[in-house]
């Protein structure tokens, strides 16, 4: 059976592993990042019209400052982030499915001053004309060295088409560097990326690199399911 490796930070790693198991996929989680809160200065609620949230981590690590924004309109990148925003007390007015840039095209007429809460590594955005974007970094993802157990698994299981899930460009670059550090042959591993930008960040030399149709975990796992049905020939 194809082995699937998930390296995203917690709690996302455990959630993705559970979702994979629900689809009868053999998945193991090895978080190669730890998420930490960053001290930030929260703008006064009256200085912006709505919040722009690209990750549940922004709400998880935003701290007590988020309390003052209860009831404020919010745009969430996806359903999971929308649920987290609602639990924080924000009023979700739109939920995206194709990234934050696409969501900016759906702004309500009165939402021209946006507060974006994000991690240190984030995708640059281009606001629509007449829209201002206030950005605050509230968390960071700290990379960890690949554990020796994972390195051994990748060396021994790669012959049966191991698939590695990559949820961010930062993770793609870090995983590629760690494989090179351990002299793990890239040509034996298949990459399933959350989007084309992430796939590009992984670099070249892999057995295959494929991107999900839409940037969410459900689409990524659906892609993995298809890849598992197309088992490569051992090299």
pLDDT of residue 80: 87
State residue 123's pLDDT score.
87
* 3-state secondary structure at position 33: strand
**For range 85-103, the mean pLDDT:** 92
Dihedral over Cα of 220, 221, 222, 228: its sign: positive
pLDDT digits (tens, 9 = 90+) for 43-86: 999 999 999 999 999 999 999 999 999 999 999 998 889 999 99
Q: Is the pLDDT of residue 1 over 80?
A: no
Give the pLDDT mean for 86-111.
93
For 154, phi and psi rounded to 5 degrees? -65, -35
Residue 235 binned pLDDT confidence (cut-offs 50, 70, 90): very low
Q: 101 and 118 in contact (C-beta within 8 Å)?
A: no
pLDDT value, residue 229:
86
The pLDDT value given to residue 61: 95
Q: Give the position of tokens 């007449």.
A: 130
| Angstrom distance (rounded) from CA 45 to CA 50 | 9
Per-residue pLDDT at 41 exceeds 90: yes
Residue 2 confidence (pLDDT) above 60: yes
What's the DSSP call for residue 177?
H
Rounded to an integer, the average pLDDT of 14-18 is 96
- Quick one: average pLDDT of 90-105? 91
Query: How far is the C-alpha of 45 from the C-alpha of 66, rounded, in Å?
Result: 10
Cα-only R_g, the chain: 19
- C-alpha 66/C-alpha 25 separation (Å) is 38
Per DSSP bridges, beta strands 132-143 and 50-53 are: unpaired
Q: What is the pLDDT of residues 185-233, one digit of tens each?
A: 999 999 999 999 999 999 999 999 999 988 888 999 999 999 998 765 4
| Residue 164, token pair as written in the block | 């590695």
pLDDT at 189: 95
- Res. 234: pLDDT tops 80: no
The CA-CA-CA angle for residues 77, 106, 48, to 5°, reads: 80
- The domains found in the chain, sorted by start residue, are 3-32+144-229 (3.40.50.10090), 36-141 (3.40.50.10090)
Chain centre distance of CA 102: 16
Tens digit of pLDDT for each residue in 140-176? 999 999 999 999 999 886 556 799 999 999 999 999 9
């Amino acid at each position: 059976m194809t082995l699937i490796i998930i390296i995203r930070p917690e709690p996302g790693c455990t959630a993705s592993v559970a979702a994979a198991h629900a689809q009868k996929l053999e998945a193991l989680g090895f978080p190669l990042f730890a998420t930490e809160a960053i001290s930030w200065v929260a703008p006064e609620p009256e200085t912006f019209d709505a919040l722009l949230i690209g990750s549940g981590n922004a709400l998880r690590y935003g701290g007590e400052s988020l309390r003052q924004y209860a009831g404020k309109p919010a745009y969430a990148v996806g359903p999971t982030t929308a649920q987290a925003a609602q639990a924080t007390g924000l009023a979700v007015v739109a939920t995206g499915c194709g990234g934050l840039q696409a969501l900016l095209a759906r702004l309500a007429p009165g939402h021209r001053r946006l507060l974006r809460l994000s991690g240190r590594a984030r995708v640059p955005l281009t606001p629509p004309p007449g829209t201002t974007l206030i950005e605050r970094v509230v968390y960071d993802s700290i990379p960890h060295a690949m554990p020796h157990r994972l390195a051994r698994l990748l060396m021994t299981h790669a012959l049966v088409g191991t698939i590695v899930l990559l949820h961010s460009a930062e993770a793609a670059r870090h995983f590629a560097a760690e494989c090179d550090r351990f002299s793990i042959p890239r040509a034996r591993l298949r990459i399933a990326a959350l989007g084309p930008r992430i796939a590009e960040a992984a670099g070249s030399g892999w057995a295959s690199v494929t991107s999900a149709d839409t940037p969410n975990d459900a689409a990524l796992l659906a892609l993995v399911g298809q890849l598992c049905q197309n088992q490569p020939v051992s090299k």
